[in-house]
Amino acid sequence: MQRHGIEVIPLTGAMGAEIHGIDLAQELDAAAFGAVHQALLEYGVIFFRDQDITPAQQTAFARRWGKIHLHPHMSCIPDHPGVIAIVKKEDDTTVFGENWHTDQMFTRTPARVTLLYAKQVPPAGGDTLFANLYAAYDTLSEGMKAFAATLRTVSAYDTDKTRPAAMTPTRLDEVVSAEHPLVRIHPETGRKALYLCHSGITRHIAGMTEEESRPILTYLLAHATKPEFTCRFRWQVGSMAVWDNRRALHYPVNDYYGYRRVMHRITIQGDPTE
């Protein structure tokens, strides 16, 4: 599909599209950015290949999506506020964010958009999976839709577990939980999405215990991440992914022990979900 000279190629039937004809080292004009923005709203996550950009250029592109978020627990690369290096070393056995999640759901204003740029990748492995939360909601029974619409969830960091090395323990202890509707209405499209993370973030349903909540949340997360609702992206050096946290989950696959992976991430501030 051609839009303003930009080619949009769907990745799967569920979600995701590659964008061709864009050089992110250059400032996009209003028409080009409008086409890119529309592609994100339509496909949930968009991908750019063969980009050669600096942190400053990634930052300039990120600002087109909104105000850059400064993460309270992770340091940025020198001289580039908001750009976080996500590094998995050769001997690391875990990866950052190793589960289905949407960024910063533990805050009252979860991230709107995330931009992830590949600096160094393994020869194979290290893919990222994405899940379509519109499809997850749309395919629920009418009874479950009605039930889910009445619920709110409580999200927080699990400070009882080992913290990622990139995070600052003393500041992590300051995190407070946040409530969100289980069915979130996307502020730009008006569509409904099933909105939840893995159990380390989405801890329980408001007004219920974790034990009472777990069967419901476990079922809904398993439903949301069915293969037919997902896409999978294989990284190359110079690849950029941009995803909409308001309607997509993502999962970094940890299958490349012995290799180093370096990504530059920027997140865009969101709005309250109420």
Pairing of strands 128-132, 17-20: unpaired
Reduced to 3 states (helix: H, G, I; strand: E, B; else coil), residue 147 is helix
pTM: 0.92
Residues constituting the chain: 274
Catalytic residue among 180, 184, 246, 250: 250
Query: Is the pLDDT reported for residue 192 higher than 90?
Result: yes
Tokens of 226: 């069915």
Mean predicted confidence (pLDDT) in 12-18: 98
Four-way CATH pick for 2-268: 1.10.4080.10, 3.60.130.10, 3.40.1450.10, 1.10.1740.10:
3.60.130.10
Q: Which of 69, 71, 101, 261 is catalytic?
A: 101
Is the pLDDT reported for residue 170 higher than 70? no
Collapse the DSSP code of 63 into the 3-class scheme (helix H, G, I; strand E, B; otherwise coil) and give the result: helix
Decide if 265 is catalytic: yes
Which pLDDT score, from 0 to 100, does residue 167 have? 47
Give catalytic status of residue 101 as yes or no.
Answer: yes
Residue of 71, 103, 180, 184 marked active site: 103
* Segments making up each domain of the chain, as ranges: 2-268
